[in-house]
Each structure stands twice: as structure tokens, then as C-alpha cells.
């Protein structure tokens, strides 16, 4: 079974966020994938051509577009600043082993982590009709129609693949640091013990 974890680093050449995100990725995100209990996966960086050499020099597979990615049995989308447990890949592949005959999604319910205070908060209401950003898509090898895990926004992917396995909170952290596109700690968020 071929499992690709695809991380987007789609920054313009002079975008000042790139260096900071790369530093965060190398210090905090990549080590979490290096320590997975199941190492049967490929880490792919989806980046613009001007950054490909930076990632290739660090030993990563790269692709400039979604179309340039190989076909994977399991596609996992991952943001370049979010954290996962050491069991993340194992949980995904264990779920696939249970249901190998048809396509489906695996969605993890995350918690929000404030990177500066290390306080953790509840994160949204995710379920079968609202998959989280921690999302994997399994398409059996015998299925000819192949679609990207990025075809729709994560919360809409259930429209294409209505079978969604939801993994309870505890395996993923949506990291909030002030430079997020959408995510932030809100005054109404409930802090976890």
C-alpha cells in the first residue's frame, strides 16, 4: 500500500513567512514524522519551483503541482505547521486495513494548541459531514477514477466521499501562532485541562 503525506509549502519567492514556516517545520513538524511508529509512508512537499531545491537538499520528495504527484493508495493532507502523535500513520493505515474494498475518508478531531503559551483548546465540531484539516483519503488500487485529497476544501470532501471515519480528539494539534491563514484562539474557545 502506497501512502503519501502531502505538505503544502506554496510560498512566493520573497514571502517573508516562508523562512519562519520552514524553521517551524524542521524543528517541530518533521521530527514528529521521523518518530512515527509506522514508517511505511512517503513525505511529499508540494512547493513552487523556486523552493524545490531547498527541500530536495533536505531529502524530501517534491512536486510543483498536484498533477505531478504519484498515485497513492492513501493520501494524507497535512499543514506545514501542525503536530501529530507518534501513532498518527499507524492509526490511518489500521483504519484502511479494516475497510479496503471502497474509498473513504479518515478525519481526526484536533485540539488547538497555542504555540506561545502551550495551552490547549477544544477545536470546532468535526464529524462525518465536517471533516477536519487532518484528513486522509483511501482509494483502492482497483478504482480507476483517482482524485486528489485537495480537490475540495477539507470540510467539503465528504461530498465526494460520504464514508468518513472520525478519529477522536488526542492525536493531532492545530497549532495557532498568529501567522495562521484561518485558525486562531478565540475568546469563546474552551481551554482543556
Q: Is residue 182 part of a domain?
A: no
Asked whether the whole model's pTM tops 0.85, one would answer yes
Domain count, the chain: 1
Q: Is residue 191 part of a domain?
A: no
Q: Is residue 87 part of a domain?
A: yes
Q: Is residue 185 part of a domain?
A: no
Distances, alpha carbon 83 to alpha carbons 1, 69, 182, in Å: 24, 23, 17
Q: What is the pLDDT of residue 172?
A: 95
Q: What is the pLDDT of residue 193?
A: 80
Q: What is the pLDDT of residue 180?
A: 59
Q: Is residue 61 part of a domain?
A: yes
Asked if 149 contacts 123 with a C-beta cutoff of 8 angstroms, the reply is: no
> For residue 151, what are the domain limits?
3-176
Q: With cut-offs at 50, 70 and 90, classify the pLDDT of residue 127.
A: confident
Q: Is residue 189 part of a domain?
A: no
pLDDT tens for residues 52-86? 999 999 999 999 999 999 999 999 999 999 999 99
Q: What is the pLDDT of residue 183?
A: 67
pLDDT tens for residues 29-47? 999 999 999 999 999 999 9
Alpha-carbon gap, residue 146 to 16, rounded angstroms: 35
pLDDT tens for residues 144-162? 889 999 999 999 999 999 9
The CATH number that applies at residue 48 is: 3.90.550.10
pLDDT tens for residues 88-119? 999 999 999 999 999 999 999 999 999 999 99
Which pairs from 31-36 meet CB under 8 Å and 24+ separation? Answer: 32/83, 32/84, 32/85, 32/86, 32/88, 33/5, 33/84, 33/89, 35/86, 36/86, 36/87, 36/88, 36/89, 36/90
Asked if 149 contacts 76 with a C-beta cutoff of 8 angstroms, the reply is: yes
Asked if 120 contacts 144 with a C-beta cutoff of 8 angstroms, the reply is: no
Amino acid at each position: 500500500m502506497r501512502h503519501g503525506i502531502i505538505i503544502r509549502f506554496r510560498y512566493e519567492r520573497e514571502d517573508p513567512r516562508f523562512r519562519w514556516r520552514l524553521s517551524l517545520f524542521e524543528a517541530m513538524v518533521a521530527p514528529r514524522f521521523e518518530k512515527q511508529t509506522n514508517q511505511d509512508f512517503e513525505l511529499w512537499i508540494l512547493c513552487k519551483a523556486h523552493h524545490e531545491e531547498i527541500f530536495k537538499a533536505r531529502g524530501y520528495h517534491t512536486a510543483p503541482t498536484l498533477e505531478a504527484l504519484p498515485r497513492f493508495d492513501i493520501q494524507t493532507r497535512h499543514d506545514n505547521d501542525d503536530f501529530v502523535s507518534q501513532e498518527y500513520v499507524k492509526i490511518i493505515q489500521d483504519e484502511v486495513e479494516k475497510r479496503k474494498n471502497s474509498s473513504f475518508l479518515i478525519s481526526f478531531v484536533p485540539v488547538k494548541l497555542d504555540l506561545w503559551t502551550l495551552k490547549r483548546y477544544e477545536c470546532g465540531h468535526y464529524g462525518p459531514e465536517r471533516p477536519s484539516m487532518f484528513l486522509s483519503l483511501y482509494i483502492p488500487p482497483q478504482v480507476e477514477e483517482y482524485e486528489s485529497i485537495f480537490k475540495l476544501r477539507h470540510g467539503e470532501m465528504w461530498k465526494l466521499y460520504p464514508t468518513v471515519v472520525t478519529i477522536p480528539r488526542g492525536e493531532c494539534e492545530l497549532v495557532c501562532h498568529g501567522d495562521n491563514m484561518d485558525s486562531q484562539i478565540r475568546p469563546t474557545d474552551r481551554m482543556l485541562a
